[in-house]
Amino acid sequence: MTNEPGERARTIPAVALDVHNPTGSCEVIQRHARRLTDLNAKTICELSNGSWDDQRTFPFIRKLLQSRFPGLKIVPFSEFPIGSERIDNDSTIEMLLQKGCDALITGNAA
């Protein structure tokens, strides 16, 4: 701040602000899930939140994977609940385990 000649210097009192992070925090213990060494003879399950063209993208991904890994089994998203509020619960995890899911495809578009 500049003062005019002969003007008395003004001081602005310091302001203290408390800033809180609204997102919370959590400790990251393992950054990513363990990677499968191979997809042959594995079971991959699909989950959809229903937000964007799942009926178009999942079959395309399925076709590409099965052409590369003929022994791959894919459990389609239609065999699981669809929608974020429906797939984010323990019963969906239990379904994935019952289907023998080795890997999961989700979030393939939007």
Q: In this structure, are residues 46 and 106 in contact, taking their beta carbons and an 8 Å threshold?
A: yes
pLDDT digits (tens, 9 = 90+) for 45-76: 999 888 778 888 899 999 999 999 999 999 99
Averaged pLDDT for residues 93-100: 92
Q: How far is CA 34 from CA 30, 77, 106, in A?
A: 9, 22, 16
All structural domains of the chain with their residue ranges: 43-105
Contacts by residues 35-40 (CB-CB < 8 Å, ≥ 24 positions apart): 36/102, 36/103, 38/69, 39/65, 39/68, 39/69, 39/72, 39/103, 40/69, 40/70, 40/71, 40/72
pTM greater than the 0.85 cutoff: no
| Band of residue 109 on the pLDDT scale cut at 50, 70, 90 | low
Q: Which two tokens stand for residue 95?
A: 């379904």
Q: Which two tokens stand for residue 58?
A: 């999942």
pLDDT for res 60: 92
Cα–Cα distance, 57 to 26 (Å, whole number): 32
pLDDT for res 5: 64
